[in-house]
Amino acid sequence: MKEFKLGGGNANPETFPYEEIARVAAEAIREVGGDFASYPGELGHEGLRRLMAQRESTREGIEVSPDQIVLTNGSMQAVTLMAEALMEKPGDIILLDELCYMGTIDMYKKVGAKLVGIPVDEDGMRVDLLEEKLEALHQRGTPPSFIYTITTYQNPTGAVMSLPRRHQLIDVARRYNCIVVEDNCYGDVHFEGEKQPALYALDNSPNHIYLGSLSKILGPGLRLGYFFARPPMLQRLLGRRGDGGNSLLAASIVAAYFKDEMWNHIERANRALKEKRDALLASLQEHLGDICSWSHPVGGLFLWVNLPHDIDMTRLAELANAAGVRYVPGCEFHVDGTEIPNLRLAFGHPPIADIREAIPLLAGCIRAASAHSTAATSEAAG
């Protein structure tokens, strides 16, 4: 049976420039040469760090020295490292978007953190509620280890934190002397509209930490991400890293490709992703416009669907599974695992034809699994 892969957050294989990367690989390897016999150092390949510094400067208005950028095994390694380095003991609290990337939720639970979710709206994390929570935690003598937030093209909601909200967050974090981990792993994938500067560009406190990735604009198979921070935070984070540094082989080859092609590639990749997003939006409108609503993401790889409130999520999972349509149910993104009438569709990986074929199937499943169409359910299941 055909599988429609709208579940996992993989990148677009159609624009992965493997032919171009293959063409520059040999030269990149010869340039590193005998240095492969040495450890890559705690920061990693200098050429790629320099390119990432340029990219963050142009894209986000961030001034960062390549000497403060640390290459990681995908940004996920950096996500995990934040908890490992910044928590003092199991049970310490991390504040994060109440709806958040499931990989982050999962790892932070595994390292023993107590997660406290802050509601998210279309402007990102609700900083008014964050402040209330911080105040309560401080009064209880249990301040959080840090705040983790995906500021731009939030996963799963697609929200972009507004500029006033960013300033508010910076102000609250400063007043409570709280570390902010800004995960901007989707920052490259921009389709339209105004861009917001990173928190890191708006405030130079060493309490800000920034996470970036090449998994979205290139692919997670490379395992190339990074973080940066200002001293003394940088040293604190580096001190807990336990893998001996990032592969010079992967980094040098990608640097050789990006040296001339970074911006061209990003433009090409985003154009193709925008077409996929538009195809998904059009299909949803056509097949679910009467009973569902959804986000209109201006960047990132995900679309967040609000299902009918009476949906039976278990039944939907069964039906969609039988139809071969993969998605991730809303509860996986909820910090507390709360069952919510939502699902996330990932549009980066599947071909447009698959998106157009999958949505009518998914729409049938949704109609069949929502209670006020019981008749339809019986028929569909029959």
Interacting residues toward its own copies by CB under 8 A: 8, 10-14, 16, 18-19, 21-23, 25-27, 29-30, 32-40, 72-74, 76-77, 79-81, 84, 89-90, 103, 107, 110-111, 215, 218-224, 239-240, 242-250, 253-254, 348-349
| Beta carbons within 10 angstroms of residue 23's beta carbon | 12
Shortest separation between residue 193's beta carbon and its own copies, angstroms: 25
Short-list 291, 234, 284, 261, CA closest to 65? 234
Output 17 or 341, the one with its CB closest to its own copies.
17
> Which residue, 189 or 292, has its beta carbon nearer to its own copies?
189
Give least dist CB 316 to its own copies, A. Answer: 25
Contact 352, 346 (CB under 8 A): no
Q: Which is nearer to its own copies, 111 or 313 (CB)?
A: 111
Between 87 and 320, CB nearer to its own copies:
87
Instruction: State residue 143 phi and psi, 5-degree precision.
Output: -65, 150
3-state SS, residue 303: strand
Q: How many helices (H) and strands (E) does the chain have?
A: 12, 15
CB-based contact 272:15 (threshold 8 Å): yes
The sign of the CA dihedral 212, 352, 327, 294 is positive
Q: Which is nearer to its own copies, 30 or 140 (CB)?
A: 30
- 229 φ, ψ to 5°? -160, 160
Structure tokens at 57: 């400067």
CB of 110 to its own copies, least distance (A): 6
Q: Is the peptide bond before 297 cis (omega within 30 degrees of 0)?
A: no
Residue closer to its own copies (CB basis): 133 or 223: 223
Tell me: cis bond preceding 156? Omega within 30 of 0 counts.
yes
CB-based contact 266:114 (threshold 8 Å): no
CB of 13 to its own copies, least distance (A): 3
Which residue number, 32 or 319, has a Cβ lying nearer to its own copies? 32
Nearest distance from residue 331's CB to its own copies, in Å?
20
Strands in 69-72's sheet, in edge-to-edge order, are 69-72, 225-229, 208-213, 180-183, 146-149, 93-97, 114-118
Provide the minimum distance between the beta carbon of 248 and its own copies in the complex, in angstroms, as a whole number: 4
Show the tokens assigned to 22: 């293959």
Give the three-state DSSP class for 248: helix
Rounded to a whole number of angstroms, the minimum distance from the CB of residue 233 to its own copies is: 17
The distance of closest approach from Cβ of residue 22 to its own copies in the complex, given in angstroms and rounded to an integer, is 4
Compute φ and ψ for 37, nearest 5 degrees.
Answer: -75, -5
Contact 280, 297 (CB under 8 A): no
- Cβ atoms within 10 Å, residue 22: 11
Angle in degrees, 0-180, between the axes of helices 313-323 and 374-381, rounded to the nearest 10: 40
Q: Which is nearer to its own copies, 50 or 167 (CB)?
A: 50
Q: Measured from the CB of residue 163, what is the shortest distance to its own copies in angstroms?
A: 31
Going across the sheet that includes 293-294, the strands are 293-294, 302-306, 342-346, 328-329
Closer by beta carbon to its own copies, 21 or else 316: 21
Cβ-based nearer residue to its own copies, 13 or 119: 13
Q: Compute the least distance from the CB of residue 88 to its own copies, in Å.
A: 10
